[in-house]
Chain A
Amino acid sequence: MNIFRLVGDLSHLLAILLLLWKIWKTRSCAGVSGKSQIMFGLVYITRYLDLFTNFISIYNTTMKAIFIAVAIATIYLIYFKFKATYDSNHDTFRMEFLIVPVGGLAFLVNHDFTALEILWTFSIYLESVAILPQLFMISKTGEAETITSHYLFALGSYRALYIVNWVYRYYFEGFFDLIAIVAGCVQTILYCDFFYLYVTKVMHGKKLSLPA
């Protein structure tokens, strides 16, 4: 565990708790893509099946359990408790356009042709694109609430920090996992445009709105 990995994980944790807190506090999930949240839920569930087969550390188990629980709670708030506030008209990205190709790719390109490994690979690939419905929704409405922007910034930072973690691990531990690295880079690249808007607007106290 290096500092980049730890701060990355904490940033990830902060992101998902921030989103849950925002929805709970405002009693509204307006501007939040339920589809992105369903896909993140799918990511955690398919990746952390090893909770039942492998024990790594208390830290590892606790974080995995929190990620799964928070993801399910977020989905529940969006689709059940605060369903009336869910902006489904703007959340029109088709999930099957991501899930089907990603599932196919996980079958074709993986480390090992076993059920757990294919599901793990699927989750890595799916995570890299799961934010697209949320970004698509923002591009449709042309704006995002400030807390939603903070959520996206923390979530994007997590993957960017993981890249630094992989560089560190490659140099100091000789470790690298090509599938995770490539998918992680793709995921981080998707945030670049958003990072730019975040730094130029939200950090200067303005709401994130897209140029007309």
Chain B
Amino acid sequence: SQNQEVKDEL
């Protein structure tokens, strides 16, 4: 999902 993807950023 979109949320999960952003979590790879710091």
Contacts and interface: CB of A to CB of B under 8 A. Distances in A.
Interface of A: 5, 9, 12, 50, 54, 56-57, 60, 63-64, 67, 111-112, 117, 120, 162, 165, 175-177, 180
B2 to A, nearest CB: 6
Contacts, number: 30
Contact of B7 (A5, A54, A176): A54
B10 A56 contact: no
Given A177-B5, A180-B6, 13 more contacts: A5-B9, A9-B10, A50-B7, A54-B7, A56-B7, A64-B10, A67-B10, A111-B3, A120-B7, A175-B5, A177-B2, A177-B6, A180-B9
Which 5 A-B pairs give the minimum distances between C-beta atoms? A177-B6, A111-B3, A56-B8, A63-B10, A175-B5
Contacts of B8: 56-57, 60
B7 to A, nearest CB: 6
Contacts of B6: 175, 177, 180
